[in-house]
Amino acid sequence: MKILITGGGGFVGARLARQLLARGQLAGRPIQRLVLADQVAPPAALLADPRVEARVGKLLTQCDALRGEDVDAVFHLASAVSGECEADFELGMSSNLDSTRALLDALRARQQAGAAPTRVVFSSSIAVFGPDPAYPFPPIVGDDTLPTPQTSYGTQKLICEHLIADYTRKGFIDGRAARLVTVTVRPGRPNGAASSFFSGIIREPLAGQEGILPVDLDVQHPVGTVQRMVDGLIAVFEASREAFVGRSAITLPGLNVTVREMLDALEAVAGPAVRARVRAQRDERIAGIVANWPRGVVTPRAQALGLKADASFEDIIREYIADCRADNPAALAGLG
């Protein structure tokens, strides 16, 4: 089996790649080749595996080559993030919508040339949900909640969900869209996502640095570890069409938690001195974006596939600490 991961050099993409290589198979078929396409090179440890091939550059310019390529599976994770898309409309349209259309058309050309439809898992987002004056916005959303996104990023993700569904209806691909909750705790530096602070208020204090909180303590949001999201993407890929149920997007489980509960968990795991490194500094732009996001999710379809949310935010922090101790102990410089 040959697998393509777009966004394969990123945090989620690299973790997905490592898990697939460790498994050695996907849907019962051995993995012979794993292509990681991204604007940045994947981690060196991945490139050391002879099954891995890196393709560095914009996805939009790489898609034509796929028309004649034997690709059995695609995980489409490449995306500009929420804050970037809101600040730069053209970037979001090119990176999220145009690139997805080009990828799907390349896979359609393969199918029309006689290849079997490629199975595609698209990484969407709960940013497709938002309040609209015409429809009450429930605090807890599910797969049956009407998506009315309030950001360019959410709109682009929703359009791509519909493209995936229609290309599947036409038989060009076998597509599934999975809506990810906010992944935390992300290692490394903050990115341009409006949700970046959900990691920053944990990651920076554990590193001995100040973490900036741009929203109120009572903000509630569904979150999950990268491991839960990777498990979800693989489960969605391996599910039969009957088990996936229809063509509409599926929401992956998340832990519905307030910022206050996150900081309480940080104190319980790392102590009051670490929590004290979080400083409230309201950012109206970030607060305005987050105010239009769901406060929680319910996920019966994902649970029917055997997927579950993290049990507690303390568990999420402990998993991040364990990952850091294995990969980058220096990231915990502020942990006593």
Which pLDDT value is given to residue 171? 97
Active site residues: 153
Please check whether residue 280 lies inside any domain of the structure: yes
Please check whether residue 187 lies inside any domain of the structure: no
Please check whether residue 17 lies inside any domain of the structure: yes
91 and 14 assigned to the same domain? yes
Which pLDDT value is given to residue 227? 96
User: For residue range 116-155, what is the model confidence (pLDDT) as tens digits?
Assistant: 999 999 999 999 999 999 988 998 999 999 999 999 999 9
Which pLDDT value is given to residue 68? 81
275-278 long-range contacts (CB < 8 A, ≥24 apart) are 275/205, 277/204, 277/205, 277/208, 277/209, 277/210, 277/211, 277/334, 278/201, 278/205, 278/210, 278/211, 278/212, 278/213
31 and 162 assigned to the same domain? yes
- Our measurement of the distance from residue 13's CA atom to the centroid of its chain's CA atoms, rounded to an integer in Å, reads 9
List the helix and strand counts (H, then E) for the chain.
15, 16
Q: Which residues of 208-242 are buried (b: 16+ CB within 10 A; e: fewer)?
A: eeebbbbbeeebbbbbbbbebbbbbbbbbbebeee
Which pLDDT value is given to residue 140? 96
Count of domains forming the chain:
2
User: For residue range 242-299, what is the model confidence (pLDDT) as tens digits?
Assistant: 999 999 999 999 999 999 999 999 999 999 999 999 999 999 999 998 888 899 999 9
Whole-angstrom distance, CA of residue 117 vs CA of residue 135: 37
108 and 77 assigned to the same domain? yes
Q: Can you give the CATH number for the domain in which 8 is found? A: 3.40.50.720
59 and 203 assigned to the same domain? no
6 and 102 assigned to the same domain? yes
27 and 100 assigned to the same domain? yes
Whole-angstrom distance, CA of residue 124 vs CA of residue 97: 12
pTM of the model: 0.95
Beta strand ranges found along 192-294 (DSSP E): 211-213, 220-224, 250-251, 255-258, 278-280
34 and 125 assigned to the same domain? yes
Helices marked H in 44-119: 44-47, 59-62, 82-87, 89-92, 99-112
24 and 40 assigned to the same domain? yes
Please check whether residue 302 lies inside any domain of the structure: no
Please check whether residue 35 lies inside any domain of the structure: yes
Which pLDDT value is given to residue 34? 98
Neighbour order of strands in the sheet with 255-258: 182-183, 220-224, 255-258
What range defines the domain where residue 119 resides?
2-181+224-251
Cβ atoms of 240 and 169 closer than 8 Å: no
Whole-angstrom distance, CA of residue 302 vs CA of residue 244: 8
Please check whether residue 303 lies inside any domain of the structure: no
Instruction: Kindly give the confidence (pLDDT) of every residue in the chain, 336 residues in length, as a single tens digit, with 9 standing for 90 and above.
Output: 999 999 999 999 999 999 999 999 999 999 999 999 999 999 999 999 999 999 999 988 898 888 888 899 999 999 998 889 989 999 999 999 999 999 999 999 999 999 999 999 999 999 999 999 998 899 899 999 999 999 999 999 999 999 999 999 999 999 999 999 999 999 988 777 888 999 999 999 999 999 999 999 999 999 999 999 999 999 999 999 999 999 999 999 999 999 999 999 999 999 999 999 999 999 999 999 888 889 999 999 999 999 999 999 999 999 999 999 988 888 899 887
